[in-house]
Amino acid sequence: FHVYTNNTERQADEILSVKYEDGRWSKPYYDCGGGNIWMLTYTVPFFGYENGTYFFKGTSGIDIDLRRVDIDQCPQKNSPSGAPQPLNIFAGTDKCKQRTTECTPIPGLGFRRGSYRCICRKGYYFPDTTIEQKYFNGSTLEEEYEKLMLNEYSTYSIPNSYECLPCAEGCDYCEDASPCVAALNWPMRTSILVLACAVIGLLPPAAVFTFKYQQVKVVRAASPALLRVIALGAFCIYCTSVVMYPPPSLYSCTARIWLREIGFSLTYGALMLKTW
C-alpha cells in the first residue's frame, strides 16, 4: 500500500498487508443462541504499528449464512467432456437404495440434509401408481435412516421399502406392471400343444401302415411313398407348435421358420405330384 502527499511523492505506508492465505475458514457450525442458523466464518488477523514494530491487534471475520447454500448429497457423475468435477464433500451421502433408485438433487432447499429425490432407475416403476409424485422424498429417508442408527423402529430396514418395482419383461420404461409386449396365453398354447402332439403321435403309425401294407391295392393306388413324404412334411409342420411353446428365443424362432418351410415343401410338393 502507498499514500500520496500534496507534492505527489510516493511514500510507503506503514501498514502490514495481509493476504488471503493468512486467513482461516472455520468448519460449518450452528450458531446456537445467536442467529440460530448454520454458518461458517472466514477470519483474518490485523496488526498495529508502534515504535517501528508491528504487533497483533485482533482479528476480523466474515460470517457466511449457509441457509442459502445447497447441499448435494448425490454421487458425482463424470463430466461428458472429462473435465474434473468441483470438490463436493457431501457427494455420495444420500440414503437412496441404489439397486432400484437413483438420487437427483433438489436445488434451493439450503443447507439441510435430504435435499434430493430418489427416483426409479431404468426398468423400474414407482410402487404407488395412483400418486403424481413418482419419487421418494430424501428428507423422509434421512429421518428413517437416523432412527435406524439410533436402534429405533424404522421403516428403512423393512425389505423392499423405498424401492421401486421391476417393469414387465421387455420394458425399458413403465408406469405400472402392464406388459410392454404381447402376453402369452398359456392355456390356449397348452391346448394347441396337446393337439399337435396327438397328431404327431399318429403320424409314425400312419407311415408304418403305408409301408407294411404297400402291396395292398388301395394303398398302392395312393402312392405309399408319397404318403410317407406327406407324413414327414406334416410332422415338420406340427413340430413348429412344439418349438414355439416356450417363450420365444433366437433358436426357437429360427427352428420354427425352417420346420414350417420344409414341412410345407414336403407336404404340398407330394400332393402336387400325386395329382399330376
The pLDDT tens digits for 96-149 are: 999 999 999 999 888 888 999 999 999 999 999 999 999 999 999 999 999 999
On whether residue 167 sits in a domain, the answer given is yes
| Contact indicator for 259, 237 with CB cutoff of 8 Å | yes
- Residue 7 grid coordinates: 507534492
**Is residue 171 located within the same domain as residue 105?**
yes
Looking at the fold, whether 174 and 219 belong to one and the same domain comes out as no
Q: Cα separation of 213 and 227, whole Å?
A: 12
Cell 457450525, residue located? 29
**Do residues 117 and 173 share a domain?**
yes
Average pLDDT, the chain: 87
Average pLDDT of the segment spanning 257-263:
95
Cβ atoms of residues 115 and 70 within 8 Å: yes
According to the model, what pLDDT value does residue 29 have? Answer: 86
Owning domain of residue 235: 186-275
Q: Same structural domain for residues 171 and 142?
A: yes
Q: Let me know whether 145 and 127 are in one domain.
A: yes
Q: Which three cell numbers stand for residue 213?
A: 401294407
Residue 13 lies in a domain: no
DSSP 116-165: EEEEEPTTEE-S-TTSS--SEEHHHHHHHHHHHHTT---GGGSTTTT-PE
Instruction: Mark whether 259 and 162 lie in a shared domain.
Output: no
- Note the pLDDT of residue 184: 76
CB 238 within 8 A of CB 196: yes
Of 103, 80, 76, the C-alpha closest to 89 is: 76
Final residue of a structural domain among 68, 99, 131: 68
Q: How far apart are CA 100 and CA 164, in angstroms?
A: 6
Q: Give the closest residue to 127 by CA, choosing from 138, 114, 115, 118.
A: 118
Assigned domain for 213 exists = yes
Pairing of strands 165-166, 124-125: antiparallel
Residues 204, 232: Cα–Cα separation, whole Å: 9
Alpha-carbon torsion (210, 215, 216, 217), positive or negative: positive
Does residue 265 sit in the same domain as residue 192? Answer: yes
- Start-to-end CA distance of the chain, whole Å, equals 116
Q: Give yes or no for residue 5 having a pLDDT over 70.
A: no
Q: Are residues 194 and 177 in the same domain?
A: no
Is there a single domain that holds both residue 38 and residue 111?
no
**127: region left, alpha or beta (phi > 0 left; psi from -120 to 50 alpha):** alpha
In this predicted model, what pLDDT tens digit does every residue of 58-102 receive, in sequence order?
A: 888 998 888 888 889 999 887 777 677 777 888 999 999 999 999
Strands of the sheet with 136-137, listed across from one edge: 101-105, 116-120, 136-137
- Report the pLDDT value the prediction gives residue 209, as an integer from 0 to 100: 93
Total of domains in the chain: 3
Q: Are 125 and 176 in contact (CB under 8 A)?
A: yes
Mean pLDDT for the stretch of residues 6-21: 62
Q: Phi and psi (nearest 5°) for 149?
A: -70, -25
C-alpha cell at 126: 414407482
Q: Of the residues 38, 68, 98, which one is the last residue of a structural domain? A: 68
> Does residue 7 fall inside a structural domain?
no
Residues 17-27: what's their mean pLDDT?
Answer: 84
Grid coordinates representing 252 are 426357437
Q: How confident is the model at residue 15 (pLDDT cuts 50, 70, 90)?
A: low
pLDDT of residue 1: 42
Pair 237, 165 in one domain: no
At 87 the pLDDT is 78
d(CA 45, CA 117): 43
Using the structure block, give the residue that is written with the C-alpha cell 405309399: 224
User: Whole-structure pTM over 0.95, yes or no?
Assistant: no
Q: Kindly report the backbone phi and psi dihedral angles of residue 65, in degrees, each rounded to the nearest multiple of 5, phi listed first.
A: -75, 125
